[in-house]
Amino acid sequence: MKLIPVIDLKDGIVVHAKYGQRDNYQPIHSVLSEQPDIYSVLNGLLQLYAFDTLYIADLNAITQNGDNSTLIHQVLNDFPMITFWIDAGQVAPQAFPQNYLPVLGSEYINENSVAYLAQFHHQFILSLDYGANSERLGATELWQEPQYWPKEVIIMTLARVGSSQGIASEELKHFSKTYPNRQFIAAGGVRNMDDIAILKKYNVKAVLLASAFHLGAISAEDLKFKQKNTPAS
C-alpha cells in the first residue's frame, strides 16, 4: 500500500481541506510543522517518512481564482527526486516538468470536454469525484467508459475529505471488483492504519492522506512498521 501525502494550497498557504467546502478552508494546524507554508509542511512530512510521491492541490487554480503555479514549480525544482501529482483544475496538454504528473478531476470535466483527455495519452492521474451528497461529479460518459481512464484512478469522496469519518467502502469495493486491470487510489476519510488495513483487503493500491498525518493519527513508528512488513518487490 502506497501512502501519498496531500498538500492543499490556497493563496500560497497550506490549508486544511474539509468536506470539500473550499471557501471555508483555514491554514493547516499540524503536529509536523509550526508554520502553514509549503516548505515547512513538506519538510515535516519528509521527516516523518521518505515519501517519493506527493499530491498538491492548487485550490486557486481549481476554483479559477488565480493560481499557485510559481510556488509549485519552485517546489518541483527544489525536490527533483519526488514525483508530484498536481491538481490544478482543467489544464491543457503541455510539456510538464519531469517530476510533474497532472491530476484531472471529473468534477470539472463535462460532456463537451471529456474527449480532450485523449490528448494526454494516458499520462495523467484521473480523479473520479463524488460530491457532498455522494453524487458522481462530471461527465456521465467519463464514469461509464474506462477507455478514457489511465492505469491509476483516484476514487475521491469530497464529503469525507478531512472528516475522519472513515473510507467510502462500497465505492472502493465496486471499482476494484469491476475494473481489476486498474489501480485504484482511495481519497477521503482515512483515519488511521486500521483503515489502511481495510483498503488492502479491497485491493486498493494507494491512498491519499492529509489529516491523519497532521493530527498525528499515523506516526513515524506506524510507517516504520509498514516498511518493515512490506515484502520486497
Average pLDDT of span 158-186: 79
Query: pLDDT over 70 for what percent of the chain?
Result: 88
- Of the two residues 22 and 143, the one the predictor is more confident about is 143
pLDDT band of residue 232 (cuts 50, 70, 90) is very low
pLDDT at 147: 93
- Of the two residues 224 and 207, the one the predictor is more confident about is 207
Answer whether residue 59 is part of any domain.
yes
| Interatomic CA distance for residues 157 and 100, integer angstroms | 24
Residue in this structure with the C-alpha cell 515519501, named with its chain if needed: 51
Answer whether residue 120 is part of any domain.
yes
Provide the angle, in degrees to the nearest 10, between the axes of the packed helices 220-228 and 38-48: 50
Is the pLDDT score of 90 beyond 90? no
Answer whether residue 90 is part of any domain.
yes
Answer whether residue 167 is part of any domain.
yes
Where residue 169 sits, what CATH number does that domain have? Answer: 3.20.20.70
> Which residues form the domain of 16?
2-228
Phi-psi region of 189 (alpha: psi -120 to 50; beta: other; left: phi over 0): left
Per-residue pLDDT tens digits for 121-166? 999 999 999 887 889 999 999 999 999 999 999 998 876 665 556 6
Answer whether residue 233 is part of any domain.
no
Report how far apart, in Å, the C-alpha atoms of 123 and of each of 54, 113, 117, 156, 227 are: 17, 17, 10, 19, 28
pLDDT at 1: 85
pLDDT band of residue 80 (cuts 50, 70, 90) is very high
- When mean pLDDT is compared across 67-81, 85-99, 111-125, 182-196, the lowest value belongs to 182-196
Is the pLDDT score of 59 beyond 50? yes
Answer whether residue 123 is part of any domain.
yes
- When mean pLDDT is compared across 19-28, 60-69, 92-101, 205-214, the lowest value belongs to 19-28
Answer whether residue 79 is part of any domain.
yes
- Of the two residues 28 and 121, the one the predictor is more confident about is 121
Q: What is the DSSP string of 40-101?
A: HHHHHHHHH---SEEEEEEHHHHTTS---HHHHHHHHHH-TTSEEEEE-SSPPP----TTEE
pLDDT at 142: 95
| Interatomic CA distance for residues 154 and 172, integer angstroms | 10
Alpha helices in the chain (DSSP H): 38-48, 59-62, 69-78, 140-144, 169-178, 193-201, 211-214, 220-228
Answer whether residue 202 is part of any domain.
yes
Q: How many distinct structural domains can be found in the chain?
A: 1
Half-sphere exposure of 23 (CA within 13 A, CB side): 0
pLDDT band of residue 231 (cuts 50, 70, 90) is very low
Is the pLDDT score of 169 beyond 90? no
Report the greatest alpha carbon distance in the chain. Answer: 48
pLDDT at 24: 60
Measured over the CA atoms of residue 104, residue 110, residue 113 and residue 116, the dihedral's sign is positive
